[in-house]
Copies of this chain bind each other. A is one copy, B any other.
């Protein structure tokens, strides 16, 4: 999917919500555990109930790898289900990969070609030649970690590095890479005021923003400081939506929770016109 197509979806749905499909078997309704593929059944129900309220789905690969081959099958079925039934949805493999060039190319092939994701998250530590292989795929985005929403973000990301914080170095440096226009960035919502600084470096890029809700970030603040003229934000919520209820009404509860966020987004979008 191109950036233009993503923006069109946001405008059409009046939503820039991304739903994190981080499925933990200990947290899903117990009756699903009796099905052949509980993870997929859970995702399918969530997707069917929420696709009109969100523009993107983001499975975090850790939650699938933790169940071995069975988990990979669930991931494969999930992305196939989305691509077949809701091709208008933007998909993100939250994999945080990164390796030396030829190896990164293998990861890119796995997520973009074999699984068919629109985008994949990557880690910046190994630099340009670890990220550029992802950027060479047409109409695919590479979403690089910049400033994450966890406490450990302050260990290195905010450390002063040649005159500026490391995450700013990462942002600035990456803008010179081949096909940099295909880059998006992960910026945690827990640090809303940082968005002003970030927008000075990457005014036009989309930012994937985890940390709204469960991790304490505030949607209004993120939008105030982070939104650009084509919205430029994908706000992710995982637990707050998918675990809204552990009963048989889990999908309806997820939809209700997603609707609350979508309505808040619609108001914000209306307010900026």
Contact = CB atoms under 8 A, between A and B. Distances in A.
Give the interface size class of chain A.
35 or more
Contacts of A152: 126-131
A22 to B, nearest CB: 7
A123 to B, nearest CB: 5
Interface string A134-167: 0000000000010011111111110111100010
B66 A100 contact: no
B129 A66 contact: no
A22 B104 CA distance: 12
A8 interface: no
A62 B127 contact: no
Interface stretch (A9-17, A69-77, A243-251): A69-77
A153 B129 CA distance: 9
Interface of A: 22, 60, 62-63, 65-69, 72-73, 76, 96-101, 103-104, 106-107, 109-110, 114-115, 123-131, 145, 148-157, 159-162, 166, 169-170, 173
